[in-house]
Amino acid sequence: MNGSLELGHIAGVPLRLHWSAPLLVLVLGVGLAGSALPAWAPGHSPFAYRLWAVVGALLLTASLIAHEGGHALVARRSKIAVKDVTVFALGGVTRMASPTTARSQGLVAAAGPVISLVLGGLCLGGSVLARDVLHWPLPGGVLAWGGWTNIVLAAFNLLPAAPLDGGRVLQALIWRVRGDREQAAQASGRCGQVAGTAMAAGGLLEFLHGAGAGLWLSMVGLFVMVVASAEVRRAQLFASLRGLRVAEVMRPAITGQEWQSVDRFLTGTARQAGDRPVIPVTDLDGRPTGYVTVAALRAVPDARRPATRVRDVAAPLERCVLARPDEEMTDVLERAALSPAGPLLVLDHDHVVGVVTRADLAGAGNRHSDPRRRPPPQHGVRPARRSRRGRVLRRRGASGVHRG
């Protein structure tokens, strides 16, 4: 997530704090100091309420980290790659690869709410101890607030609507019953669209009637609706690309040399590339070192173009997603989800042979879902030949052919 600062690691998983996270602490602190604590522990100074409200807000932030950390730990035990955990104004998010089985998805999804329920019970128990045994009303009030908030957090996350944890559990159940992951993802995503719309509308109505918390609920609903819609589109794309190999999706690459001047590159290779969004660049041995865009090249002032090398403008290869022609397209997209948001370059024996863009993915998915629009095999695939009687004789061993 852009705008995040890395704070440390949870069992080897990077923990990041988004710039909006302090807003969460501020809003929770103001609400806790203004109403909850004075009601549960009357008779204290405003400074004491504000001080313990900050403690309560930090306690809930730590609970959110624990909630997301539960997802990350169970995912790692299930051999699922986890990129990072981020806390932001609307809660937390754990970025990870897609589970390979319905069981692992269900376990990973359920881990967060279970952690929240356990923390809620511990906080409520600590509240009873602090208020009734130790006679510490303010710490007891903070713990009671934290306990009930964690329980509400768990209940909210268990709503059967993606991207909430309950939606992931629903997706795992549908996947287990029907055996189709993309179909299950579409079903849970549509539930998320409905739930998000309902939360956004309900929160807006509450806000218009004077309830400030309604604005927060409306923002959460919009977030759920947007993410759920993206997941439906992703599931539809994956379903349309299922079985296709990279060679059947890619477009041939036009490469340029990194040692060329920007001026020469623009008048030569860039014109040859036409409307291609990215142009891979190579070293003296023809191995890729990165990529450039025409916009980045044209951003170089005219007077400096003859003396500026393309390597000084190019983005490094580490920002690209690399794939082989014979890989399954869906496997590459799964891997790309945990990679930098760069172009997808197709390499064959350390040489660029193709590039895959969003337009290529959409076009290949449409053709694959409609057999009448499928193009003839490409990338070294020899066409079927006919015998004298007109029967088709298929050749074996052709690379890059979609089977099934």
Nearest to 98 by CA among 335, 320, 339: 335
Q: Which residue has the tokens 């999804």?
A: 109
Report the CATH fold assignment for 246-393: CBS-domain (3.10.580)
Whats the size of the chain, residue-wise? 404
Nearest to 188 by CA among 238, 224, 237, 154: 224
Q: Which residue has the higher pLDDT, 306 or 32?
A: 306
**pLDDT tens digits for 181-202?**
999 999 999 999 999 999 999 9
**Residue 32 DSSP symbol:** I
pLDDT for res 35: 81
User: Over 80: is that where the pLDDT of 145 sits?
Assistant: yes
**pLDDT tens digits for 67-106?**
999 999 999 999 998 989 998 887 888 989 889 899 999 9
Q: Which residue has the tokens 């409200």?
A: 53
The pTM of this model reads 0.79
Give the pLDDT mean for 308-324.
93
What is the C-alpha end-to-end distance of the chain, expressed in Å? 38
pLDDT for res 382: 38
Q: Where are the domains of the chain?
A: 4-241, 246-393
Q: Which residue has the tokens 């499928």?
A: 374
User: Over 50: is that where the pLDDT of 118 sits?
Assistant: yes
User: Over 80: is that where the pLDDT of 377 sits?
Assistant: no
pLDDT for res 26: 81
Where residue 341 falls among pLDDT bands split at 50, 70, 90?
low
Q: Report cis status (omega within 30 of 0) of the bond before 371.
A: no
Q: Mind telling me the catalytic residues?
A: 68
The one-letter amino acid at 19: W
Give the pLDDT mean for 207-233.
89
